[in-house]
Structure 1
């Protein structure tokens, strides 16, 4: 009776502890859920979720994601609304349920203690938290993966008929395939585990259950394929034709990054984490006592190992590595957490032989030492995972691109006659979520790009119709690899200002003035090789809010190996700085390191006349400085700058 009560108490305590961990998982995922702006991909989710189920499928057929997540999000949006918070909540719930599945799987494979440890590691890993706070399909991908592995374990470890577990696995795998094209990595891991289980039973001649399990496993995979069959031709076509996005980097660098993300999350570099104890736990996670090395035990030991390694190996073999693609490995992070948890569990069991001198330590002493090691390792791991939360929430390096602020900035500066160019055009969805103004919007280049002449002509048409253009640059290397949109704007207009919002850049361009009456073609020498051949100003009298436009013509008499930045400055009568704008030549598209000897380089610059400048005379100067050492300016005679003209600021309306 006491044994029964003790067992019930242990089960009750484990359930309470698991509930606390799951609540913690929800808390860290819901914290600041709606604080950040939606970014580009989330904007696509928002628009897709607003379409009919048929329209979702039609649009997904032109994308690189199947429609399953979008269908589910459309139903969710109809029930909860379309704020950033509610759109992301579906992923938050999926991420929380993933933690619950991790506990269940760890408990099934090893013990409740191992399940709790694995669930805690998944709870605090910033890799999982980040994507549980994003209105995309990756948290759902991880959920189907965790649930699928739990059902796979039930399928092979339970005695007797496993038809219902096979049916459940078929449905979960089909859901995974409809969610993301990376789910086959998980199915490959499942297949490897199935082959290990079936092969071992075959060679050990334990064939009583072998034929039935093999038939059931084959049948459940056939059902999965049948459920995905309507989309299979589209999936194969999209995967085959979508441009490759992998980066060629050394294997050790790729593996180090993947290891950091899978163990501590996307903030692993910010927390200066050491990995010695992680390797220590992974090593202990591979140990199996010889007396207990029967099939279920070593198969349980291998499940998280195979789950972690097969997706990573497939990912690298297919040349998919780049940081933006690491989300495809989100499910492998659960395998690593289970592997670490098994290492803790092995230590806690205290069955490992420890020797002092030639004497084997007593069992109780061994257990005390090993359990102390397990406790310290788990505490250290938990504290390091917890340390990653603050940078995740507050460090700008982990913030999403701020389209909310971009739209607000444009709305605040917009004037009649302005226009907006979105480069690339697939920013349109998220931009439309925030922008409520009436400026015309031009997504360029059209479609997937590729026709540079048509893109250039389209940009020139926009410039001819409008006096100013707000250009939002993101992802141009994929849709506009020749940077036709930016180079056309930079060459034929004037960049007034630019602001970075994460990886997105907002640039305000002003169209050229009708004439540039103030000019000077007296050569000015900068340093040993660079000469300013001439310059031309649109005027020398401005009002607040006007834009000073200057055309520069440069040359060099020798190749340059230093990138120089042009700085335009207005100086007060007393010589102090009043206004300044710095930019590399050509808006960064005509770098000095690309200049050819004796070839003229046309370079447009501008300076916005701020409202706080008083109505007095200012001196316009120009200088060149080393991009890597702003204090190092090129000499101009005895000075380090050249004076160009006197500028007058007059009251508005004068």
Structure 2
């Protein structure tokens, strides 16, 4: 837990939030009725997390505070994985499993992110430990703590319910008696009934994950590299070898292997029909890999622990061998962390995230004048202004019709195409904040408002200056003069007062 806490706090202030974190930041600061209204239309799957973060950010709204619950959850998960290893295979395996979980880069990544995935991993680890305890206790009452922990975990993210399938496989491998199945079944049924309304509502909001693609073998390979403590080279093969040896520890493997394979496997399979898979949705499966590798190392250490060095002879047993095992374990874990250190360092840079909204806000402060109108293309780019409002305090969002909190949306409601054209007709300069892909010639948005933004800028404005940061483009557009209007663009000329209007020419008859 100490190692995980240190890894989580290291570089926690990256100097900027990215898009998903900014959603958490701005939604959690709304009132509870405003959050409740939002969940009826979007992000119901994150509803409980937003309410938790509403309490957290009420203490101090800051991006470091935003990430502290994930750090705490990652720290708790490392301890729970260690406790699970102790219960299944002894203190040495438990210690190694907890440290392996703590130093894996994927764990550190989500322990430093203001989203719910680290909390979900903590809940699943706790529920798995309670599953083992309930089976060992053999009493019906022992299953209620299991259900009480798993229910809110699934409400934090509905894909956590897949762990029930992994736990069912564990019980089958252990060949538990019917009374154990009965107790687990009642607890699991209660969890499913509680989560069903969330699944129903989120099904109607599936457009939020329309950007996901059907996963192929490359996704499977990427997940394997992420969950095995040794992403490449000799470290990867050593980890895979120890993982294979860990399968011989049947009691541990019966818990760890289903946890590692079943939830990702089910989600990958379902995503062949409807894409729903992302690595972060099954972050909790990583605990299974740590347990298996540690169990394999424990079996290897057991063999080494029976070796005794007596002069030039080798005998079985001895304190020296146990000391050698301890030193070897420490050196192996240290070498694994040092091998992954470049990945950890890279992950603590804001540039390693999909975007950095703080950079966009700082650029706006330097370039925009007070009162300047600004357009966001697409409208999701407004998240930069919502996360860092000081950067856009002096400018006017010319397309915005109703703010995000008042409209019950993530980034507000915009004017209709007609209203937007009239608003743009009244200005001679406008700033455009756009994603790089939105300015590509082949990009054709389905939203008519987005099409109107691009069409009016192309017809009536010219680019005066441009600034690019990562994948965000900041452009100043100024109105064209009449002589600069491109051929084919619509123009309107004003005649002097009293001047007769020209007669319209009669249209020529169409010819076949």
TM > 0.5: yes
- Give the alignment partner of residue 359 of structure 2, picking from 390, 397, 405: 405
Deviation at 1:335, TM superposition (A): 1.4
Look up the match of 1:495. 463
Look up the match of 2:255. 303
Assess, with a 3 A threshold, how the Cα gap between structure 1 residues 501 and 152 changes in structure 2: closer, same or farther: farther
Query: 1:81 and 1:411 mapped to 2: Cα distance?
Result: 24
Assess, with a 3 A threshold, how the Cα gap between structure 1 residues 225 and 329 changes in structure 2: closer, same or farther: closer
Look up the match of 1:640. none
Deviation at 1:242, TM superposition (A): 5.0
Tell me if 1:81 matches 2:28. Answer: no
Look up the match of 1:415. 369
Assess, with a 3 A threshold, how the Cα gap between structure 1 residues 466 and 343 changes in structure 2: closer, same or farther: farther
- Give the alignment partner of residue 478 of structure 2, picking from 501, 508, 511: 511
- Aligned ranges 1:354-393 → 2 under 5 Å: 363=316, 377-393=332-348
Deviation at 1:325, TM superposition (A): 2.4
Query: 2:348 and 2:276 mapped to 1: Cα distance?
Result: 19
Look up the match of 2:212. 246
Look up the match of 2:164. 187
Look up the match of 1:150. 129
Tell me if 1:259 matches 2:213. Answer: no
- Give the alignment partner of residue 225 of structure 1, picking from 187, 192, 195: 192
Query: 1:132 and 1:430 mapped to 2: Cα distance?
Result: 23
Deviation at 1:344, TM superposition (A): 0.9
Look up the match of 2:500. none
Query: 2:466 and 2:279 mapped to 1: Cα distance?
Result: 30
2:278 is paired with a residue of what secondary structure?
helix
Tell me if 1:105 matches 2:84. Answer: yes
Could you list the per-position Cα deviations for residues 84-137 of structure 1 after superposition, in whole angstroms to 9, with x for gaps in the alignment?
A: 111211111111111111111111111211111121122122212222212211
- Give the alignment partner of residue 27 of structure 2, picking from 37, 48, 67: 48
- Select the structure that is richer in strand: 1
Assess, with a 3 A threshold, how the Cα gap between structure 1 residues 110 and 496 changes in structure 2: closer, same or farther: farther
Could you list the per-position Cα deviations for residues 174-219 of structure 1 after superposition, in whole angstroms to 9, with x for gaps in the alignment?
A: 111210122122222122223333xx24xxxxxxxx2321221111
1:70 is paired with a residue of what secondary structure?
helix
Look up the match of 1:335. 288
- Select the structure that is richer in helix: 2
1:275 is paired with a residue of what secondary structure?
helix
Could you list the per-position Cα deviations for residues 127-160 of structure 1 after superposition, in whole angstroms to 9, with x for gaps in the alignment?
A: 122222122111111111111111111122x144
Tell me if 1:346 matches 2:299. Answer: yes
Query: 2:160 and 2:358 mapped to 1: Cα distance?
Result: 32
2:204 is paired with a residue of what secondary structure?
helix
- Contact (CA 8 Å) 1:423, 1:443: kept in 2 or not? no
Query: 1:414 and 1:462 mapped to 2: Cα distance?
Result: 19
Could you list the per-position Cα deviations for residues 230-257 of structure 1 after superposition, in whole angstroms to 9, with x for gaps in the alignment?
A: 5453244335x65533324641x22221
Look up the match of 1:161. 139
Tell me if 1:438 matches 2:400. Answer: no
Greater RCO structure (CA 8 Å; 6+ sep):
2
1:384 is paired with a residue of what secondary structure?
helix
Assess, with a 3 A threshold, how the Cα gap between structure 1 residues 376 and 96 changes in structure 2: closer, same or farther: closer
Query: 2:330 and 2:78 mapped to 1: Cα distance?
Result: 21
Assess, with a 3 A threshold, how the Cα gap between structure 1 residues 346 and 465 changes in structure 2: closer, same or farther: farther
- Give the alignment partner of residue 429 of structure 2, picking from 468, 473, 491: 468
Could you list the per-position Cα deviations for residues 549-583 of structure 1 after superposition, in whole angstroms to 9, with x for gaps in the alignment?
A: xx7x9xxxxxxxxxxxxxxxxxxxxxxxxxxxxxx
Assess, with a 3 A threshold, how the Cα gap between structure 1 residues 211 and 150 changes in structure 2: closer, same or farther: same
- Contact (CA 8 Å) 1:37, 1:400: kept in 2 or not? no
Tell me if 1:176 matches 2:153. Answer: yes
What is the total number of aligned residue pairs between the two structures?
A: 460
Q: Over aligned residues, Cα RMSD in angstroms?
A: 3.8
Query: 1:55 and 1:340 mapped to 2: Cα distance?
Result: 46
Assess, with a 3 A threshold, how the Cα gap between structure 1 residues 497 and 121 changes in structure 2: closer, same or farther: farther
Look up the match of 1:559. none
Larger Rg over CA atoms: 1
Assess, with a 3 A threshold, how the Cα gap between structure 1 residues 188 and 419 changes in structure 2: closer, same or farther: farther
1:67 is paired with a residue of what secondary structure?
helix
- Contact (CA 8 Å) 1:424, 1:443: kept in 2 or not? no
- Contact (CA 8 Å) 2:81, 2:97: kept in 1 or not? yes
- Aligned ranges 1:3-22 → 2 under 5 Å: 22=1
Unaligned runs of 5+ in 1: 1-21, 202-209, 289-297, 355-360, 517-535, 539-550, 554-599, 603-654
